[in-house]
Structure 1
Amino acid sequence: MDSIDEEIMRCVVRNARSTYAEIGEAAGLSAPAAKRRLDRLVATGAVRGFTALIDTQTMGWRTEAFVEVYCKGNPTPGALGESLGEIPEVIEACTVSGSADAMVHMLARDITHLEQAIQRVREAPVIDRTKSVIVLSRLIDRPRL
């Protein structure tokens, strides 16, 4: 990976719908060369996919929480991910070091909706218990590169 590849990735992170001409302009390439480079980044797994970023505020999902998850036994990360992936309010989940097994970022309409979603997390067969904190305000919210 070189600086041209990095510029291509910055461009598609800013706007996944960028045209090859726009990507090429940002990276100093022709549109066909930008397409070849981007195709290679996808083929090697450096770019895993393209997505739309939804403004959850417009959906009315304004209540956020971070939930520590404690598992029963020792489930694999794959099994834990499968269980959590079935819950649409889970927008991000990671295994972590420390006493918790995983940290889950959740989003819901309101406290009642959040409570119902956390209950669904707790009902997953691999989950023993949870510990939640609710987000009061976002201080920094940067897109990832």
Structure 2
Amino acid sequence: MTQVDDIDRQLLSMLHADGRRTFSEMAPEVGLSVAAVKRRIDRLRETGVITGFTVQVDQTKLGLGIGAFVELSCTGSTPVGEIVRTAYRAPEVQAVFTIAGDPDALVQVRVRDIEHLQQVIDGLRRAGHVTGTKTLMVLGSWTRES
């Protein structure tokens, strides 16, 4: 496990809020020089604490206003890799979480409307190893920053 201190946590929180934030913007907030902030961010990247920088997209503005989680149950001998490949064949799938117990995976999807959701679920159900699904509609979401 990589050692991080309070300043590292502050930097991570700032980058989580805005991944485009510059070292010179962060330096005064943590009381370090720009070079020291750069060294810390570089170390966090080299040790794998920071795995990349991404953009957050408002899916509703792209016409994908409905979010859902689909529980997938598969035949007992289905390898984890096949479960993930099955789910990712649908472009509406945002993430796949393989989990212990029953069901085998939790699949996050974004769709236009209920009819579109039904089509995605039908497609998942037709996949070779899927034996059942259960769908949970998202009503709202909140994310912890760090």
Same fold (TM over 0.5): yes
Tell me what 2:20 maps to.
Answer: 17
Partner of 2:98: 95
Question: How high is the sequence identity, in percent, across the aligned residues?
Answer: 35
RMSD, matched Cα: 2.0
User: Which one of 85, 98, 109 corresponds to residue 112 of structure 2?
Assistant: 109
Any idea what the Cα deviations from partners look like across 1:44-82, whole Å, max 9, x if unmatched? 111111100001111121112121111223444444333
4+ long deviations beyond 4 Å: none
Partner of 1:2: 5
- Cα distance in 1 for partners of 2:81, 2:118 equals 25
Q: Structure 2 unaligned runs (5+)? A: none
What is the alpha-carbon distance in structure 2 between the residues aligned to residue 144 and residue 87 of structure 1? 29
How far apart, in 1, do the equivalents of 2:85 and 2:35 lie? Answer: 39
Shift of the 41–72 alpha-carbon distance from structure 1 to 2, 3 Å rule, reads: same
Aligned length: 143
Residues 111-120 or 35-44, more deviating: 111-120
Could you state the TM-score of these two structures normalised by the residue count of structure 1?
0.84
> Could you tell me whether the CA contact under 8 Å between 2:98 and 2:105 is conserved in 1?
yes
Moved more, 110-119 or 123-132: 123-132
Q: Which residue of 1 aligns with 2:45?
A: 42
Greater Cα radius of gyration, structure 1 or 2? 2
TM-score in terms of structure 2 length: 0.84
